């Protein structure tokens, strides 16, 4: 009875943007709230809800529901644009969210707060219509959010002059190449530019809370500056407890995956390798490397003469160099997917070669794994700059004039981290960030206290 009463202190309706890199952090945050006594209803789009693999064995009492983006049977056709999708999602999503709130209220489960992904601002308008608390959840770093905000406000003029130095409050001096791709290559991906620059900040001033998936110690200066604008709180890193503070033994997995992980093959292979000897290579669930870059990456891994575990999605496998898997079988293992947290936590892994999306970056920081950053687009160039020059826990592989990172550069970066003198310094810094991430989410840490404050205000309102 006591547990049931705790679960109904207040009720949060959580709405992630429909992609794995957004769903997992928000689901992880939901588990934290739920464990601290808040009732949670997590609502994905109908299509995503029906296609995600539920892999969590957690004894969470989170409820699941759905809204619609207007594409319940599948995604865009080739003839449709991203703009069309986002416009339809806003219209259909608003309608079905209102229906969901009404349905929850009529069943005696009125929502007290909507936690919504910053990529889709329209749930805040619905929350205000119903007199519900609205909490926006940013899934990228505060540094990146700060850049987008300054563009939105017209304080950072585009296009950026080449070779210019960009000075923004709370951030180190940056070059155009350090900017998110939507900013550095002005006019690329206009639909995404609109979403991350215009839509994200269109009504943020009206939000009751601004929650960021980072931790204070990682981004102190920019967090302090942004907190002057909004009721901003850092609540990350949103990593399952068993990889951080270990306060919840049943919390080992995010809970969802768009792919079936090939766990046994990966971990069996890793367990047979010496400590710190393996380069783990993964470019996430969305990145699509060109054939030239795939070839250079593959031969760079081989030329490093180190062990490597390379995740190549089924849709990308045809881009592998001919005969590569067979030729490198003595040193490497290529798999279609694997459990990333378990891999990064394996002591045989000595570096992480990645595009450095924010989730992967936070995972590497939290588990203390040095990184070789090979950024592709969106926020990854900014993350790479911080990884190398601010947090000093990795190297950025430099691309040539064609934008391709050549095999010599890949091999040199991997060798430098796994074998070189610079690698020793990087590993020491990585260990420092691992400890700080753990402390942030542990009892009394900066993120833990922020989450408790958020809950206390919700309960007070309830």
In terms of domains, do 76 and 165 share one? Answer: yes
CATH number at residue 425: 3.40.50.2000
Whether the pLDDT of residue 3 is over 50: the answer is: no
Q: Please pick, among 112, 117, 199, 379, the residue that the annotation labels catalytic.
A: 117
The pLDDT of residue 420: 95
Tokens 């949103």 label which residue? 238
Query: Which range marks the domain in which residue 312 is found?
Result: 259-437
Count CB-CB contacts under 10 A for residue 230: 16
Q: Are 285 and 359 in contact (CB under 8 A)?
A: no
Q: For Cα atoms 260, 195, 111, give the angle at the middle one, nearest 5 degrees.
A: 70
In terms of domains, do 172 and 287 share one? Answer: no
How many domains, the chain?
2
Is-catalytic flag, 22? yes
Which of 277, 410, 414, 281 has the alpha carbon at shortest distance from 355?
281
**SS3 category, 132:** coil
Is-catalytic flag, 205? no
**pLDDT per residue over 112-129, tens digit each?**
999 999 999 999 999 999
Cβ neighbors of 356 (< 8 A, separation 6 or more) are 371, 373, 374, 375, 380, 383, 384, 387
Identify the weakest region by mean pLDDT among 5-9, 331-335, 401-405: 5-9
**pLDDT per residue over 38-65, tens digit each?**
999 999 999 998 887 665 445 568 999 9
**pLDDT per residue over 400-434, tens digit each?**
999 999 999 999 999 999 999 999 999 999 999 99
- At 462, the pLDDT band (50, 70, 90 cuts) reads low
Question: Has this prediction a pTM greater than 0.85?
Answer: yes
In terms of domains, do 451 and 412 share one? Answer: no
In terms of domains, do 225 and 288 share one? Answer: no
Q: Please pick, among 22, 49, 150, 355, the residue that the annotation labels catalytic.
A: 22
- At 75, the pLDDT band (50, 70, 90 cuts) reads low
Which of 358, 362, 406, 408 has the alpha carbon at shortest distance from 381?
358
In terms of domains, do 62 and 194 share one? Answer: yes
Q: What is the 3-state secondary structure (H, E, C) of 389-453?
A: HHCCCEEECCCCCCCCCCHHHHHHHHHHHHHCHHHHHHHHHHHHHHHHHHHHHCCCCHHHHHHHH
- Summary mean pLDDT of the chain: 93
Whether the pLDDT of residue 331 is over 50: the answer is: yes
In terms of domains, do 457 and 397 share one? Answer: no
Whether the pLDDT of residue 80 is over 80: the answer is: no
């Amino acid at each position: 009875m006591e547990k049931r009463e705790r679960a109904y202190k207040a009720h949060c309706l959580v709405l992630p943007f429909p992609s794995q890199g957004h769903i997992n952090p928000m689901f992880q945050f939901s588990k934290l709230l739920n464990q601290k006594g808040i009732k949670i209803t997590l609502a994905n789009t109908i299509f995503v809800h029906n296609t995600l693999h539920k892999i969590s064995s957690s004894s969470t009492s989170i409820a699941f529901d759905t809204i619609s983006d207007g594409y319940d049977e599948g995604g865009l056709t080739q003839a449709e644009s991203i703009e069309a999708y986002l416009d339809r999602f806003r219209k259909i999503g608003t309608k079905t969210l209102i229906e969901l709130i009404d349905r929850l209220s009529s069943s005696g489960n009125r929502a007290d707060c909507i936690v919504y992904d910053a990529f889709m601002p329209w749930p805040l308008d619905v929350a205000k219509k119903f007199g519900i608390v609205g909490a926006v959840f940013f899934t990228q770093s505060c540094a990146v959010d700060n850049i987008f905000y300054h563009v939105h406000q017209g304080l950072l003029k585009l296009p950026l002059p080449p070779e210019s130095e960009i000075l923004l409050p709370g951030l180190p001096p940056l070059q155009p190449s350090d900017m998110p791709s939507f900013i550095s290559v002005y006019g690329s991906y206009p639909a995404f530019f609109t979403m991350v620059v215009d839509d994200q900040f269109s009504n943020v001033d009206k939000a009751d809370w601004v929650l960021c998936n980072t931790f204070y110690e990682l981004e102190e200066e920019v967090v302090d500056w942004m907190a002057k604008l909004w009721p901003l709180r850092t609540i990350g890193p949103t990593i399952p407890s068993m990889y951080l503070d270990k306060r919840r033994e049943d919390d080992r997995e995010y809970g969802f995956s768009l792919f079936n992980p090939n766990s046994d093959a990966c971990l069996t292979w890793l367990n047979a390798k010496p400590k710190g000897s393996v380069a783990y290579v993964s470019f996430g669930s969305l990145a699509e490397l060109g054939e030239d870059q795939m070839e250079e990456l593959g031969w760079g891994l081989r030329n490093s003469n180190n062990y490597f575990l390379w995740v190549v999605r089924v849709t990308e496998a045809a881009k592998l160099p001919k005969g590569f898997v067979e030729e490198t079988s003595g040193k490497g293992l290529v798999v279609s997917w694997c459990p990333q947290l378990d891999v990064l936590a394996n002591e045989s892994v000595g570096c992480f070669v990645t595009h450095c999306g924010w989730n992967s970056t936070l995972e590497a920081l939290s588990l203390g794994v040095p990184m070789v950053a090979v950024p592709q687009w969106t926020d990854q160039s900014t993350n790479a700059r911080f990884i190398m020059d601010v947090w000093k826990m990795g190297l950025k592989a430099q691309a040539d004039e064609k934008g391709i990172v050549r095999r010599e550069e890949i091999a040199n970066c991997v060798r430098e981290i796994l074998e070189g003198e610079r690698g020793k310094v990087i590993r020491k810094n990585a260990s420092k960030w691992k400890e700080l991430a753990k402390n942030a989410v542990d009892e009394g840490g900066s993120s833990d206290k922020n989450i408790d404050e958020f809950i206390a205000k919700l309960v007070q309102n309830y």
